[in-house]
Amino acid sequence: MITNHIKALLVGAALVAAIPACKNGSEHTETAGEESPMPDSTYAPVETKEPNSKYKPAFEGQTRAPGVKTKTPISVTVLTSELDHPWGIVNLPDGRFLVTEKTGTMRILTADGKPQKKITGLPEVNSEGQGGLQDLNIDPQFASNRMVYWTFSEKNPGGNLAAVAKGKLSADETKIEDIKVIYRVTPAFDGTLHYGSRIVFDKEGNIFLSAGERSSTETREQAQQLNSSLGKIIHITTDGKAVSNGPFASTGNARPEIYSYGHRNPNGLAFNPATGDLWESEFGPRGGDEINIIRPGKNYGWPVITYGIEYAGGKVLTGIQQKEGMEQPIYYWDPVLSPAGITFYDSEVISEWKNNLFVGGLSSMHIARLVIKDDKVVGEERLLADEGQRFRALTVGKDGALYAVTDAGRLYKVSKK
């Protein structure tokens, strides 16, 4: 709800301008944190626009949490602007970064963010629409086996689909060797939207993959169907097989690799270091962008329940937000954030950020910082809101800084001053 207190609005508006932009091509900008007006006071919610719908949250704090503000003085630096539509970023053991570029190449960046090597020769991608070379991750044993895993959109006779591939980074770091596609999200569809495509490793070295429902009204119903990979969180081994004893391993006509279902376009995955739980960010339509905790076998509702409306206006299906047997989001936005990659801050360097969730915003053009307590969002802050960038993916570096890549080709570093 939008506050009626003018003072609170002014304070809340100050959050958006808290970090100045890198103007006129400047590579560096700095800001100092400011104290809250009173020790126990809270700011107004950072969102002040009218929602798209009149839907009511299922519980207090499910949307428009109180505003918060980082007190630690921080510095914002643009390390490079030379990337070509970066999509995923991962830390290498030596402090460097490995980045995917949408058109089909990977780049190795130095620890200070400068492009160093280009990796080519990957399987052909379909970069139309939301497709291309997408997320990537390195094997937990990368230091010894040099294995890299990535997702990409692939043209097939039946249409396009999201695929997962793996291969070994060559000694000269210019190519991936012994490439093998280990999993394909099927059925294929003749469209170029909602691939999902984030990948993370669990503690056992298996892969969680987010798979979108491909956007169309023809396919979105498959998010509720257990004989389809669309609209699911998938759990597979590094060979692409279903992890044993999955929640649907003994369910007739269900794909054993399905871990959860009822997802629209899940574009972010990250493990909460405080609990070990898997968290997910998911695009809604007009409104209804979500943050979820992913539990095995659970149904997250799309398209049956949603806090969003159709792009053309009107209800999605019957327009309900709650239904027995379907999970509620931990948090949602209306209007949308367009949540892309997410990461938990797991460093002690900026202590007040410890275990906070950071969410890259695309159409909203900012990074959302979410303060988490007992699996609930209790505070929200907007960072880099004046940069005019679509924040695609995030990671926390070995130095405790937050790094973010943008669709325009920038790599940002947000660090303690």
CATH of the domain at 164: 2.120.10.30
Give SS3 for 209: strand
**Domain region containing 263:** 6-16+26-416
Question: Does the pLDDT of residue 2 top 80, yes or no?
Answer: no
Confidence at 36, pLDDT banded by 50, 70, 90: very low
Strands (E) across 345-409 are located at 357-361, 367-373, 376-383, 391-396, 402-406
In a domain? residue 191: yes
In a domain? residue 312: yes
CB 224 within 8 A of CB 261: yes
Question: Does the pLDDT of residue 23 top 60, yes or no?
Answer: no
| CA distances, 14 to each of 7, 34, 64, 413 (Å) | 11, 11, 16, 22
In a domain? residue 1: no
In a domain? residue 61: yes
Please state the rounded mean pLDDT for residues 353-382.
98
In a domain? residue 91: yes
Q: What is the H or E stretch that residue 355 is in?
A: none
Residue 42 confidence (pLDDT): 76
In a domain? residue 317: yes
CB 33 within 8 A of CB 267: no
- State how far the Cα of 361 lies from the Cα of 241, in Å rounded to an integer: 33
Whole-structure pTM value = 0.92
* Residue (of 361, 342, 346) closest to 397 by Cα position: 346
Enumerate the active-site residues: 194
Residue 7 confidence (pLDDT): 36
Number of domains in the chain: 1
Cis preceding linkage at 45, omega within 30: no
User: What percentage of the chain reaches a pLDDT higher than 70?
Assistant: 90
Residue 41 confidence (pLDDT): 53
Which parts of 17-148 fold into alpha helices (H)?
142-145
* Residue (of 122, 156, 116) closest to 136 by Cα position: 122
In a domain? residue 21: no
**222-262 confidence digits (pLDDT tens):** 999 999 999 999 999 999 999 999 999 999 999 999 999 99
State the DSSP string of 185-198. -SS-BS--S--EEE
**49-80 confidence digits (pLDDT tens):** 999 999 999 999 999 999 999 999 999 999 99
**85-119 confidence digits (pLDDT tens):** 999 999 999 999 999 999 999 999 999 999 999 99
Residue 3 confidence (pLDDT): 39
| CA distances, 40 to each of 36, 43, 221, 378 (Å) | 8, 10, 46, 14
Confidence at 402, pLDDT banded by 50, 70, 90: very high
Residue found by looking up tokens 């510095």 in the block? 75
Residue 377 confidence (pLDDT): 98
In a domain? residue 289: yes
